[in-house]
Amino acid sequence: MIELDRVSKRYRGSNDALTNVTLKIERGEMAFITGHSGAGKSTLLRLIPLLERPSGGIISVSGVDLARIPRRRVPLLRRGIGMIFQDHRLLHDRTVFDNVALPLVIAGVPHRELGRRVRAALDKVGLLHKERSEPITLSGGEQQRVGIARAVVTRPPVLLADEPTGNLDPALSEEIMRLFAQFNAVGTTTLVASHDIELINRLGHRRVVLDRGQVVSDGAGGAGGRA
């Protein structure tokens, strides 16, 4: 589903953020990208929806070489990728409902279908009763769940999460991670960047460890992981 072939990314005037990263995430797979701060986790995730272009190597999503996607087709690529951020990135002047509805509006889903699909997404993250609230009145965990609802409302084939539990306590973090596992269980290819190694080990799933822009280990996580 997502393939990186000898991908590198160099920022002007600094060391390589990624060096020769080769990685293949199968359709329907769930994987964690982990490593210390500055190891290149975020950079790797940002290359997939073309928030940045790689300096070298080939990235393809669903068999499409991203280098062949012109600027004006980038929005279409992003519509197929649900993205979740550490700082949620919600619109604070709109209700929870409007935030979650935004991807549907952008994709041109007819007005009469919005309500049903937004409520289905909010229901999955357990926030159906908060639909009229302003995001600012919600707790950090709730805001992150709104962010997740927004990412999955269009049922994208790929879900990317960059440090989704960075600001949450362990119990909430686990709850959020289990939510990702649920979406993965219905076939969404899920890639989560996190430095919470303990939690990742507990959840199992594939674990890709980055160090200074290079893949140093790739395999099943701790207890409960695949062989």
- 56-64, 88-96, 172-180, 193-201 -> range binding another protein (CB under 8 A): 88-96
Number of residues near another protein (by CB under 8 A): 23
* Interacting residue with another protein among 68, 72, 116, 132 (CB under 8 A): 72
Shortest spacing between CB 146 and another protein, in angstroms: 12
Rounded CA separation 116/202 (Å): 35
* Interacting residue with another protein among 64, 67, 91, 185 (CB under 8 A): 91
Nearer to another protein, 5 or 98 (CB): 98
- 14-22, 76-84, 121-129, 203-211 -> range binding another protein (CB under 8 A): 76-84
Shortest spacing between CB 6 and another protein, in angstroms: 25
Rounded CA separation 52/58 (Å): 13
Over the window 150 to 189, marking each residue x when it contacts another protein by CB under 8 A and - when it does not, the resulting string is x---------------------------------------
Neighbours of 63 (CB within 10 A): 7
Shortest spacing between CB 106 and another protein, in angstroms: 5
- 97-105, 178-186, 196-204, 213-221 -> range binding another protein (CB under 8 A): 97-105
Relative to beta strand 189-193, strand 30-34 is parallel
Burial (CB count <10 Å: 0-12, 13-18, 19+), residue 198: exposed
Rounded CA separation 63/192 (Å): 21
Q: Are 160 and 191 in contact (CB under 8 A)?
A: yes
Shortest spacing between CB 120 and another protein, in angstroms: 18
Nearer to another protein, 147 or 221 (CB): 147
* Interacting residue with another protein among 105, 185, 216, 220 (CB under 8 A): 105
Confirm or reject binding of residue 54 to another protein (CB under 8 A): no
The residue with tokens 């009145």 is: 137
* Interacting residue with another protein among 11, 75, 169, 224 (CB under 8 A): 75
Contacts with another protein by CB under 8 A lie at 49, 51, 72, 75-79, 83, 89-91, 93, 102-103, 105-111, 150
